[in-house]
């Protein structure tokens, strides 16, 4: 009976509960929302929580058929882009689809056009838009804006963000804000295990249920990348939730694979502000995209 009550409680977290507490409110006090930190019902065991989380994961993870379709769409768009792009422009899938941490039903993906740093930003954008429109003639293209403009198209019911960017090897070469996405994708794929990517999905769904998933202004919550960093930091979904109860702002995440000197530099800077430092780019707050 206790296990049944616990399952119902966790199901509320993952499926429907909408917390009225914002990240800027409860989390500034270094606590999770009260409901999330409540003690579990008596009789709730590690085995039962594992079973519940496994069931949740089955509902939120894209099916093999969905992932096959995503790859087909990505390859179709990439193939069309290659017909118009010169050899010095690289096409690369980015974001949660490329990292294998996206949720079921998320028919969105990011495809980046990586230009050499020899281009000016203006020349890069003009060239990218020209090549995209030529390659995807016949598809409806919409212009959107982030740090700089990009194009969005719908292909077989999938939304594709086509993002012009500079190809870089490290954060010191950043030419635009979106350039760091390639570093993030590489960093996460290098360090997250297959099981940890499943834990990222659980954390994303948990944050969605609490109404704190998404870095856009109307939410100001946890970005997908931050969820990935938290799993990388704490090792698992359960450990991340447990440790979050003891957070004190600012929270410092130790980059994986960095020397002690590099870690201390990031942490020292971080103690002066209320932000989480991103391992692959020391100038960005990881609550953003």
Rounded to the nearest angstrom, the gap between the alpha carbon of residue 265 and the centroid of all alpha carbons in its chain is 25
Rounded to the nearest angstrom, the gap between the alpha carbon of residue 214 and the centroid of all alpha carbons in its chain is 9
Say which range, 23-37, 99-113, 130-144, has the weakest mean pLDDT: 23-37
State the CATH number of the domain containing residue 97.
3.30.460.10
* Alpha carbon distance 154, 62 (integer Å): 19
Averaged pLDDT score across all residues of the chain: 80
Cis, bond preceding 250 (omega within 30 deg of 0): yes
In a domain, 32, yes or no: yes
pLDDT for residue 38: 44
In a domain, 128, yes or no: yes
3: pLDDT strictly greater than 80? no
* Alpha carbon distance 91, 110 (integer Å): 11
259: pLDDT strictly greater than 60? no
Residues 68 and 37 in one domain: no
* Alpha carbon distance 182, 186 (integer Å): 6
DSSP of 160-209, one letter per residue?
EEEEEEE--SSGGG-SSGGGHHHHHHHHHHHH--HHHHHHHHHHHHHHHH
* Alpha carbon distance 169, 154 (integer Å): 30
In a domain, 2, yes or no: no
**75-84 confidence digits (pLDDT tens):** 999 999 999 9
Residues 19 and 94 in one domain: no
Residues 210 and 281 in one domain: yes
230: pLDDT strictly greater than 60? yes
Residues 150 and 68 in one domain: yes
Q: Do 73 and 155 contact (CB within 8 A), yes or no?
A: yes
pLDDT for residue 39: 52
pLDDT for residue 31: 38
Q: How many other CB atoms are found less than 10 A from the CB of residue 37?
A: 13
- What is the reported pTM? 0.78
**What are the beta bridge partners of residue 90?**
114
108 phi, psi to nearest 5 deg: -125, 140
Residue found under tokens 């689809």: 97
Residues 166 and 96 in one domain: yes
In a domain, 125, yes or no: yes
**158-190 confidence digits (pLDDT tens):** 999 999 999 999 888 999 999 999 999 999 999
Mean pLDDT of 148-163: 95
pLDDT for residue 44: 63
Number of domains in the chain: 2
Domain boundaries, position 29: 13-44+192-285
């Amino acid at each position: 009976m206790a296990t049944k009550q616990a399952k119902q409680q966790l199901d509320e977290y993952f499926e429907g509960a909408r917390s009225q507490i914002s990240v800027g409110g409860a989390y500034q006090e270094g606590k999770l929302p009260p409901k999330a930190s409540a003690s579990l019902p008596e009789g709730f065991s590690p085995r039962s929580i594992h079973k519940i989380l496994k069931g949740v994961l089955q509902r939120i993870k894209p099916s093999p058929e969905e992932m096959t379709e995503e790859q087909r769409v990505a390859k179709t768009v990439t193939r069309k882009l290659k017909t118009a792009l010169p050899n010095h422009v690289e096409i690369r899938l980015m974001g949660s689809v490329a990292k294998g941490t996206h949720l079921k039903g998320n028919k969105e993906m990011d495809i980046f056009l990586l230009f050499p740093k020899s281009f000016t930003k203006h020349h890069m954008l003009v060239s990218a838009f020209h090549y995209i429109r030529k390659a995807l003639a016949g598809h409806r293209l919409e212009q959107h804006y982030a740090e700089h403009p990009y194009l969005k198209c719908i292909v077989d019911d999938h939304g594709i963000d086509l993002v012009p960017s500079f190809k870089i090897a490290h954060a010191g070469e950043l030419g635009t804000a979106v350039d760091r996405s390639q570093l993030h994708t590489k960093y996460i794929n290098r360090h997250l295990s297959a099981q940890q990517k499943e834990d990222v999905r659980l954390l994303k769904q948990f944050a969605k249920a609490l109404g704190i998933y998404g870095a856009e202004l109307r939410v100001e919550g946890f970005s997908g990348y931050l969820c990935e960093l938290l799993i990388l930091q704490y090792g698992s979904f359960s450990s991340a939730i447990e440790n979050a109860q003891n957070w004190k702002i600012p929270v410092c995440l130790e980059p994986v694979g960095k020397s002690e000197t590099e870690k201390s530099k990031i942490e020292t800077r971080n103690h002066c502000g209320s932000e989480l430092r991103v391992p692959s780019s020391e100038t960005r707050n990881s609550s953003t995209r």
